[in-house]
Chains A and B, each alone.
Chain A
């Protein structure tokens, strides 16, 4: 089965978005990566064939972007942000705890093929540090004492992760609650069909005044971060 056989409809949808076929290289590489687990040389050539590109051009793209893996990676790729300000908010401690629990170093994969650990640059969630992404699912507020809870949860969800792949095409976000439970952040309420079918223009409603974030005791994280208005 080739990539085109497995995902024909999706590939056609993707190609239709762009004036040039080459533009589809990133989405198709994501697709190939999730289909084969990582980007083998054959997979990269397959993408090149679909897009009528010289394989070199696609190899170059794979080498340039950090979210493409041209070597086998674990079922879960754990990416910890270690930039300023995360490095002052527990990122180094988190990396140390992960290395200890997993028995591996950065850029290594556990012998059972379950976890790959990476340091990455800014994940744009500085207010929820220490933060990591597991297969591009955000996990917020991962203090070192929560590492084992996180790893156990990820092990339980390994089958699901293998099905979804490492490219985040079905990503969800998670956070730790104050009492240390790992919960999925509700993405949005169930989709409801639109309610004003045929209604030309419902009158604009004045939005209620913005609620100021609750005053805070000023105690250290993570409780205080909860009060962030987002």
Chain B
């Protein structure tokens, strides 16, 4: 199975596509103009519902259904575009924005029209400073062309889109933490319910969608539901931008229809081009840092939401990290949990303390070479106390690396213990908190 057609990364090879006029010449903004002049907001919601578009940020929740949760007749409403991409292994959003910003802005505008919002914010992580500038220029061009602002195309529809830069906090990708951050507070998640569709930004009905999700919307409106559903699988229609990284020959973003086998993404000369130096695959993390790990046994799994879930992992953000046999599983778990420890917002105890103690224990075992058999039990005990008890998904995600490593590669932890006891006896030095 090869790539049939790009949906999201469609025009990245066209020179100057980030410019309004070029994008327009290639049919851009046409879906938006068509929707505003010939379709009602409800028509667009129905179209997106029928298309089966699922949120690309990680959860895979049907976008049209999410839009349908908005309470009737309650205004103002807000649309938020989540571009707080910062999970290890995931790197498609800022590249989509940097190369083809108008596609996203058209998607945001179209979706805002569909949900009857007059203000939309694109929340970008603070590190995407250059991409934010690209986006701001593109938004200014769209205003100038009369596609944003007041009384757009004479239809009476008003829309303002603003770029809001975060300032370095992964947790702000969690939808309620994003709203807190946008309200000028520290990015700690809110209790749900109420869900954002009912009481979100400033307590108003709010829809939050990922960059890639919204970038799909213009194409669905332009080409129709049947065309869209002809890509991908029955339950996961469309395509996904997979971010491939690690020990492959050609790391990069590749847009594939859902359902392509993992092996093809890694080995096809069009995509990953195989493993560097021909070394064997050891660990595959298929959906960003928070996805449970797979191994070489899983290479034939089709890349779609259901198949990966059935294999005990998840498609998540589509960030596929492939690691070869030279890596140590405990070390990978240590680095991954160090990420979650760093990004834990500190609101709930299981996450704040759990990630801290995971990293502290793993640091001693992996970096300092002092491991005891009791440490393995401690690790099991810590992640069990975290699983299901954290306030938001960040803490739950932090469980995955260590749980996967302990389940798939228990002998490597035992080897750490063995090596350590043969060298140091039972001497365990004090760890300086850092």
- Which residue from chain A places its CB closest to the CB of B76 in the assembled complex? A19
CA distance A85 to B276 in the complex (A): 14
CB distance from A93 to the nearest CB of B (A): 15
Closest to B222 in A: A204
Task: Say whether B9 contacts A229, CB under 8 Å.
Answer: yes
Chain A: which residue is nearest B278 at the CB level? A218
Q: By the criterion CB–CB under 8 Å, are A126 and B15 in contact?
A: no
Task: Knowing A65-B167, A65-B169, A210-B3, say if A218 contacts B249 (CB, 8 Å).
Answer: yes
Interface size class of A (residues with CB under 8 A): 35 or more
Question: Would you call A204 and B273 a contact (CB within 8 A)?
Answer: no
Partner of B21, one of A194, A201, A224: A194
For residue B274, which residues in chain A have a CB less than 8 angstroms away from its CB? Answer: 218
CB pair B130 A229 closer than 8 Å: no
Nearest chain A CB to B133 CB, angstrom units? 7
The answer to whether A60 touches B184 (Cβ under 8 A) is no
Q: Which A residues from 156 to 197 make CB contacts under 8 A with B?
A: 167-173, 187-189, 191-192, 194-196
Docked complex Cα distance between A88 and B16 (Å): 34
**B-contacting 9-mer, from A4-12, A94-102, A131-139:** A131-139
Q: Are B162 and A17 in contact (CB under 8 A)?
A: yes
Contact check, A124 vs B253: say whether CB atoms are below 8 A apart. no
Say yes or no for B164: interface residue by CB 8 A criterion. Answer: yes
- Please encode chain B, from 1 to 40, with 1 for each CB lying within 8 Å of some chain A CB and 0 for all others: 0010110011111111011110011110010010000000
Pick the contact of A138: B130, B137, B273, B332 (CB < 8 A): B130
1/0 per position for B169-186, CB-CB distance to A under 8 A?
A: 110000000000111111
Q: Using C-beta atoms within 8 Å of the partner chain, give the interface range for chain B.
A: 35 or more
Alpha-carbon separation in the docked complex, A25 to B327 (Å): 43
A192 to nearest B CB, angstroms?
Answer: 6
Min CB–CB distance A166 → chain B (angstroms): 10
Q: Are B88 and A85 in contact (CB under 8 A)?
A: yes
- Decide if B269 is an interface residue (CB 8 Å cutoff): yes
Interface of A: prevailing SS: loop
A173 / chain B contacts, CB cutoff of 8 Å: 98, 130
The answer to whether the Cβ of A154 comes within 8 Å of any Cβ in the partner chain is no
Within 8 A of A (CB), among B251-276: 251-254, 269-271, 273-274, 276
Q: Tell me the residues in window 1-60 of chain A with beta carbons closer than 8 Å to chain B beta carbons.
A: 17, 19-27, 29-30, 51, 53, 57, 60
Q: In the A-B complex, list the 10 residue pairs whose CB atoms are closest, starting with the nearest.
A: A228-B252, A168-B129, A204-B27, A66-B168, A171-B129, A22-B184, A65-B167, A126-B245, A25-B184, A127-B251
Q: Footprint of A on B, CB under 8 Å?
A: 3, 5-6, 9-16, 18-21, 24-27, 30, 33, 85-91, 93-95, 98-99, 125-130, 132-134, 137, 141, 144-145, 160, 162, 164-170, 181-187, 202, 222, 243-247, 249-254, 269-271, 273-274, 276-277, 285, 289, 319, 321, 323, 327, 332, 335-336, 339, 342-343, 345
> Which A residues lie at the B interface, using CB under 8 A?
17, 19-27, 29-30, 51, 53, 57, 60-61, 64-68, 82-85, 87-89, 120-127, 129, 133, 136-138, 167-173, 187-189, 191-192, 194-196, 201-202, 204-213, 215-216, 218-220, 224-225, 227-230
> Can you list 11 A-B pairs with a CB-CB distance of less than 8 A?
A30-B167, A84-B246, A122-B87, A127-B252, A137-B130, A187-B134, A213-B250, A213-B270, A218-B274, A229-B9, A230-B99
